[in-house]
Amino acid sequence: MKEFMIAPSILSADFCRLGDDVTKVLQAGADVVHIDVMDGHFVPNITIGPLVVKALRPLTDKPLDVHLMIENPDRYIDAFAAAGADWITVHAETGYHLHRTLARIRDLGKKAGIVFNPATPIEILDWLLDDIDLVMVMSVNPGFGGQSFIPSALEKIRLIKEKIGARNLQVGIEVDGGIGPGNIGEVAAAGANIFVAGSAIFGQPDYGEVIRTMKAQLF
């Protein structure tokens, strides 16, 4: 998972016409569809369940990236996998047995990722890196779209890149929150290669233009 990818977050899409909006963003150059699952406990907001993932699945062969912002993710992993998720990411803050949770995701044939909130240290990666496909850095406090990028995420991305490089692994580095044309360059320079963007893309009339502007800064 080394190449650069743009992952529009459908949290900012038009939920009344979700299929049409997702099709539109895929045609506009999205590489991944990022789906934010919130339970009203781990984060203040409530959003999407497996039914919506299942409904979106026929629209594309591109990866459906399911970001679980929920307590007790073990309880729902099988359901999201069955619904058609390709990547399933779980928060470091939510699991007593993260190694087992991530192994379960891989056993189901999906890519497994661990997510860190802005204040969460990343040292547990020393005990997980060989068994995961991606690491996601939250650059906002999860729960809502349209928040400002927290700059300390850049240093966290650099440290994660070093850890991955030291073991010569192909683990992807995803970043989520407050990403757009104005900062994607420095986020990529820090070492991220998968960029979630919600409001920056869905908030503009021409999704293709935003995605092209973002990709032009990746090299």
Catalytic residue status for 36:
yes
State in angstroms the smallest separation of the CB of 184 from Zn ion. Answer: 16
How open is the CA angle 83-86-88, to the nearest 5 degrees? 90
Kindly tell me which of 81 and 153 has the beta carbon lying closer to ligand DX5.
Answer: 153
- What is the rounded CA–CA span in Å between residue 132 and residue 160? 13
- What is the rounded CA–CA span in Å between residue 64 and residue 60? 9
CA-based nearest residue to 187, from 218, 145, 144, 141: 218
198 binds ligand DX5 per the rule CB under 6 A? yes
Residue 195 Ramachandran class (φ > 0 left, ψ -120 to 50 alpha, else beta): beta
Q: Where does this chain touch ligand DX5 (CB under 6 A) — which range of 87-95, 124-132, 191-199, 209-217?
A: 191-199
- Single out the residue of 64, 176, 184, 191 in contact with Zn ion (rule: CB under 5 A): 176
State in angstroms the smallest separation of the CB of 201 from ligand DX5. Answer: 8
Query: Residue 114, class by beta-carbon neighbours within 10 Å (0-12 exposed, 13-18 middle, 19+ buried)?
Result: buried
State in angstroms the smallest separation of the CB of 179 from ligand DX5. Answer: 6
CA-based nearest residue to 21, from 211, 202, 176, 208: 202
- Single out the residue of 29, 49, 95, 146 in contact with ligand DX5 (rule: CB under 6 A): 146
Catalytic residue status for 176:
yes
State in angstroms the smallest separation of the CB of 161 from ligand DX5. Answer: 21
- What is the rounded CA–CA span in Å between residue 6 and residue 27? 13
Q: How many residues belong to the site for Zn ion (CB under 5 A)?
A: 3
67 binds Zn ion per the rule CB under 5 A? yes
Interaction site with ligand DX5 (CB under 6 A):
9, 11-12, 34, 36, 67, 140, 142-143, 145-147, 176-179, 196-200
Interaction site with Zn ion (CB under 5 A):
36, 67, 176
